[in-house]
Chains A and B, each alone.
Chain A
């Protein structure tokens, strides 16, 4: 069974640009969550999508947005990039729907975003 895939793996952007990151969950999973990881703040929750609906959102500005498609693939978008957005962005998939909220979260390798 293929794991969680994220594309691209590395991105370099300049301040003010926008970026779109993609995440393909494990086949059959309906939930995709996004996290930002920085050395100072650690792992912080961005948002979670379940069956195309945003179920939860973390404490990030409106420049951060996301969506989920009918095949469960998800994208997140960051507009008007700032230097502080440089981070490793991780997505996690879970939720076959049969075990409820006890499902293990499986993480992708991440997208390393550098903002210059």
Chain B
């Protein structure tokens, strides 16, 4: 059974700092890995999707890497801003369906 862990559970940083969020998964047989953002009481917004054959994806100030063999992914946020404050969720999909297995998330607070 796939399990996804995210560390740390919460993180508080001053504005402008670069930061890294971590995600690990137990079964390396994944199809893809997605990073999402969730604002309080809202749905999920997809940030980046990394296919199993890829090593990283970039979008603006975000860069996500994937090391499938070791079961790890990182989300790097450059020059953090208060608007980045949210919960960041990592999710993996396996074979045969779009079913996602989620971590519990990292709650990020960027202090002005």
Spell out A's residues near B (CB within 8 Å).
4, 31, 33, 35, 42-45, 48, 50, 55-56, 58, 88, 90, 92, 94-95, 101-110, 112
Contact = CB atoms under 8 A, between A and B. Distances in A.
A106 B98 CA distance: 11
Q: How large is the interface on B (under 10, 10 to 19, 20 to 34, 35 or more residues)?
A: 20 to 34
Contact of B51 (A90, A92, A95, A102): A102
A33 B43 contact: no
Which secondary structure dominates where chain A touches chain B?
A: strand
B44 interface: yes
B32 interface: yes
Contacts of A35: 100, 102
A47 to B, nearest CB: 9
Given A33-B100, A56-B99, A107-B46, 15 more contacts: A42-B103, A43-B89, A43-B102, A56-B97, A58-B99, A94-B98, A95-B98, A101-B95, A102-B32, A102-B49, A102-B51, A103-B98, A104-B49, A105-B46, A105-B98
A3 B28 CA distance: 31
B99 A110 contact: no
B46 A55 contact: no
Contacts of A45: 99-101
A67 B44 CA distance: 22
A42 B97 CA distance: 20
A44 B96 CA distance: 18
Contacts of A90: 43-44
Interface in B59-112: 89, 91, 93, 95-105
A56 B94 CA distance: 12
Contact of A101 (B31, B44, B105): B31
B45 interface: yes
